[in-house]
Amino acid sequence: MIQDPADDHDLPKRRSDDKPSRRLRRGMYILPSLFTTANIAFGYYAILQVTHGSIAEGWHFDNAAKAIGFAVLFDGLDGRIARMTHTSSAFGRELDSLADVITFGVAPAMLAWMWGFRQLPLALGDAHGRLIQIGAIASFLFLIAGASRLARFNITANPQPSNPGRPGKKYFVGMPIPAGAGVIAAVVHFSEGDPVVSWWTAVTWALLVVAAAYLMVSTWRFYSFKDIDLRSRQPFRLIVLFGLLFAGIWYFSRYVLFAIALLYMFSGVFWRLTWIFRRRNPPPPAYKEASLPS
């Protein structure tokens, strides 16, 4: 077959035209990491605000809770952007895990201890020191549970819940660490940063922190929201729902975020109890009519 000489002249031009597309492709790999970097920045800011709250006004605790809330949003966006643009990488996954340990592990653990225990009044007497120690243990359990949750997620390929009703990517195995941090942040934001001052509130707070830690390392299932495809045409009802949710968070963030965080936390408990009752009461075998001999 005789090749047209004009094709040889067009070949270098085509290769040169491919360079901008390759550069754009490489630049797209940076985009998810930028959102992960913002996640780390919000976590660092939350730690700074917790430190200020220990020596100044309590509204610094509220700022730390808001920073963790924004970090939850950016953590959800970086993964979706990486999947939508097909720019997932091993570096991005490792960076995301390290960012989650800082923002959703260290920052909420410090916030839980400083807001819920360290600011208790000295008038509690001997209970003051005991509650501070209990709070330190509960906060550490939250941190180590979150780190263990991330480690298990990184080494497990397509983990499945222990109560298989609808297994697959629609559910997480154990409560994800951003949701655990969101519970801590939502409760602090609901109180507008005013620290705990009574012993019974401190005990209740310790139980809630330990419960969140246990749910993160459990094998119970939690909805992942990964089946929502933002690239497809969304029904009108879903658009209205997102609009109402955004308006509710904008005007009533304390109540809406508090309700969302606790409802998601107890959703795993609900699915677990449902699975237990189904196992104890199996459905009766299907009745099959006997065939008459011909």
Q: For residue range 116-174, list pLDDT tens digits in order.
A: 999 898 888 889 999 999 999 999 999 999 999 999 888 875 455 544 444 456 788 89
Specify the residue for token string 């550069």.
Answer: 23
pLDDT of residue 272: 87
Mean pLDDT value across residues 167-194: 88
Condensed to tens digits (0 to 9), the pLDDT of residues 216-252 reads: 999 898 988 776 665 666 667 778 888 899 999 999 9
Q: Is 45 helix (H, G, I), strand (E, B) or coil?
A: helix
pLDDT of residue 130: 93
- Helix extents (H) in 85-125: 90-101, 107-113
pLDDT of residue 84: 74
Q: How confident is the model at residue 257 (pLDDT cuts 50, 70, 90)?
A: very high
Directed axis angle between helix 177-190 and helix 126-155, to 10°?
A: 150
pLDDT of residue 278: 79
φ, ψ for residue 88 (rounded to 5)?
Answer: -70, 140
pLDDT of residue 146: 95
Which two three-digit tokens encode residue 19? 């360079």
Mean pLDDT value across residues 3-17: 48
pLDDT of residue 131: 94
Q: How confident is the model at residue 283 (pLDDT cuts 50, 70, 90)?
A: low
> Of all helices (H) and strands (E), which one includes residue 202?
helix 199-217
- Enumerate the domain spans of the chain: 104-278
Tell me the CA distances in angstroms from 105 to 76, 94, 213, one per residue in order.
Answer: 16, 16, 10
φ, ψ for residue 252 (rounded to 5)?
Answer: -135, 55
Rounded Cα distance, 184 and 199, in Å: 18
Which of 223, 65, 93, 227 minimizes the C-alpha distance to 153? Answer: 93
Cβ–Cβ < 8 Å for 161, 221: yes
Q: Which residues pair with 172 in a beta bridge?
A: 222
> Of all helices (H) and strands (E), which one includes residue 196?
none
Rounded Cα distance, 70 and 16, in Å: 42
pLDDT of residue 113: 96
List of long-range contacts for 159-163, beta carbons under 8 Å, 24+ apart: 161/219, 161/220, 161/221, 162/219, 162/220, 162/221, 163/220, 163/221, 163/271, 163/272, 163/275, 163/276
Residue type, 107: A
Rounded Cα distance, 294 and 285, in Å: 26
Cβ–Cβ < 8 Å for 117, 202: yes
Rounded Cα distance, 119 and 41, in Å: 26
Question: Comparing 285 with 271, which gets the higher pLDDT?
Answer: 271
Number of H helices, E strands in the chain: 9, 2
pLDDT of residue 273: 86
Rounded Cα distance, 273 and 133, in Å: 32
Question: Comparing 109 with 25, which gets the higher pLDDT?
Answer: 109
Rounded Cα distance, 39 and 99, in Å: 7
Cβ–Cβ < 8 Å for 157, 143: no
Rounded Cα distance, 46 and 27, in Å: 29
